[in-house]
Structure 1
Amino acid sequence: MAERALPPVVARMWGRETASRHGPRPSLDVAGIVAAAIAIADRDGLEGVKMSSVAAEVGVATMSLYRYVGSKDELLVAMADAAAPEPPALDGRPWRAYLATWTRANRDFLLDRPWLLALTSRTPPAGPRALRWLDRALAALAGTGLGHGERINIATSLTSYAASQATLVHGMTSAAEAAAGDGSIAGLADYGDILGQVLDPAEYPELTAAVRAGGFGAAEEWTDDADFNFGLDLLLDGVEALIARRT
């Protein structure tokens, strides 16, 4: 059976693209182009990343980029992989302690580069950096008795949790900054106040009770990202229960 051809963007990220023997020697490489695009995103946000702006950053004509990167979409996929740091080292830690660190580190690099949040759902992990994150999570679970599919699903769930928490934090921070001048919702306490004015206790009895008890304000007052730890512990408790059933 013939080996399946790699998608062009995957071949480029892994250095497996077949080099042409014709024409002048390339003056750029994919890594340099991706680094320039990341610098633009860090400075101007993802909306600043255009083929023309990247070309200007590396000092070539826009059409010259297509010799190295097939499209802007391919460039964005490569950026998402290259912008991720190396995953935490295992260092012999128990699976739960490692995955807690792993998930927090995943969330933190998304908070450091919020533009990555727009790229996390574009493609399954296929680049060197993203696959190292996946490999380390699977390695942490290797001695638990769970199957390969179960371990992959756990890593995927924790990745999704990290992304959702980073999105929530970034969204609330942005909303608070915007609300400083226009009087819009600035946080969970404000949100709870607004809900208290519109909810019908007969139709939303439990939500009304939570609002009247100040539940949203209490959630906002958690410190040291205890809300992140709360959700993470729920997920890891589920993993622990699954491991117990298998053993």
Structure 2
Amino acid sequence: MAQERPLPSVLGRMWGHEPVSRRGPRPRLDLATIIAAAIEIADAEGLAGVSMANVAARVGVATTALYRYIDSKEDLLTVMADSAAPLPPEPDGMPWRDYLALWTRTQRDLLLDRPWLLSIDTLIPPMGPRRLLWLDRALAALAGTGLDDGEKINVATALVGYALTDAALVQSVTGGDPRMEEAGISGAADYGEVLTGLLDPETYPSLSAAMRSGVMEGAVGWVGDDDFRFGLDLLLDGVEALIGRRALRDRSDGE
């Protein structure tokens, strides 16, 4: 039998695997209360307002008392990133494509509603209970498609990456990114104008011609749903093509 790998303390707490001491007074707090307070601060003030001291003040304890539950601010952010996500939508017999479109859009919208999540390293493999529930539902939606488990996980990873990238781009324009403000960019049209002035037609002939044609003027600040759906459809079309290739392979193998 393989020896069980010990969990880092923060993961043990997230999964409820940390042993509970029966000695001493009953703790005044629990991890859920602390994380809820930290999320409230982040929603109101952004991550800049989240510190161990501010969270401790919100729940009414000394800062040192938090360290009975959270070892560091980094661990605090790890748990916040997992806990801030809602429960995933259930497939409930939806066609896989419809479900994954909803699944991806819901994650993108969460990131727009809580942009502070974009500042946390959410590109690490999911290990918390809530994020892994999202992954589980994506795999369930792809059951019966002929994809193997590795391909299903790669599909989910690609869709999460798209949700993150789209949300980050929208937030950089609409959220007052100082770099964009300094460049005078408040939308796609402004971006196109800046590039038109920067690009040398000899070095960037195709891109320069596209910018000078006014291609960016029709986009509405990269926040229009049509733009999001266009990219999502490209990804889902690729998944559909992959499923089709797997079906052809399986039929060929069966002959």
TM-score range, shorter chain: over 0.9
Tell me which residue corresponds to 1:206.
Answer: 206
Tell me which residue corresponds to 2:227.
Answer: 227
Tell me which residue corresponds to 2:243.
Answer: 243
CA distance in 2, matches of 1:122, 1:94: 27
Structure 1: segments with no counterpart, 5+ residues: none
Q: Does 1:193 align with 2:193?
A: yes
Q: TM-score, normalization: structure 2?
A: 0.91
Give how far 1:224 is off: 4.7
CA distance in 1, matches of 2:221, 2:48: 33
Secondary structure at 1:67 match in 2: coil
Tell me which residue corresponds to 2:54.
Answer: 53
Identify if the C-alpha distance between structure 1 residues 214 and 62 changes in structure 2 by more than 3 Å, giving closer, same or farther. Answer: same
Tell me which residue corresponds to 1:86.
Answer: 87
CA distance in 1, matches of 2:153, 2:196: 42
Structure 2: segments with no counterpart, 5+ residues: 248-255
CA distance in 2, matches of 1:151, 1:222: 29
1:124-177 CA-partner distances (Å, limit 9, x unpaired): 211221111101100000110101011001101101100111111111102489
Q: Which moved more, 1:195-204 or 1:55-64?
A: 195-204
CA distance in 2, matches of 1:80, 1:13: 11
Q: Does 1:218 align with 2:214?
A: no
Tell me which residue corresponds to 1:154.
Answer: 155
1:81-121 CA-partner distances (Å, limit 9, x unpaired): 11001111212111001000110001001111000111243
Contact 2:85–2:110 (CA under 8 A) maintained in structure 1: yes
Q: Where in structure 2 are the equivalents of 1:1-247 lying within 5 Å?
A: 1-121=2-122, 123-175=124-176, 184-220=184-220, 224-247=224-247
Counterpart of 1:29 in structure 2: which amino acid?
A: D
Secondary structure at 1:220 match in 2: coil
1:160-198 CA-partner distances (Å, limit 9, x unpaired): 100111111111102489978x77222221121122222
Identity over aligned pairs, percent: 60
Secondary structure at 2:90 match in 1: coil
CA distance in 1, matches of 2:219, 2:71: 46
* Root mean square deviation of aligned Cα: 1.9
Counterpart of 1:160 in structure 2: which amino acid?
A: G
Contact 2:41–2:50 (CA under 8 A) maintained in structure 1: yes
Q: TM-score, normalization: structure 1?
A: 0.94
Identify if the C-alpha distance between structure 1 residues 120 and 96 changes in structure 2 by more than 3 Å, giving closer, same or farther. Answer: farther
Give how far 1:216 is off: 1.3
Give how far 1:19 is off: 1.2
Tell me which residue corresponds to 2:250.
Answer: none
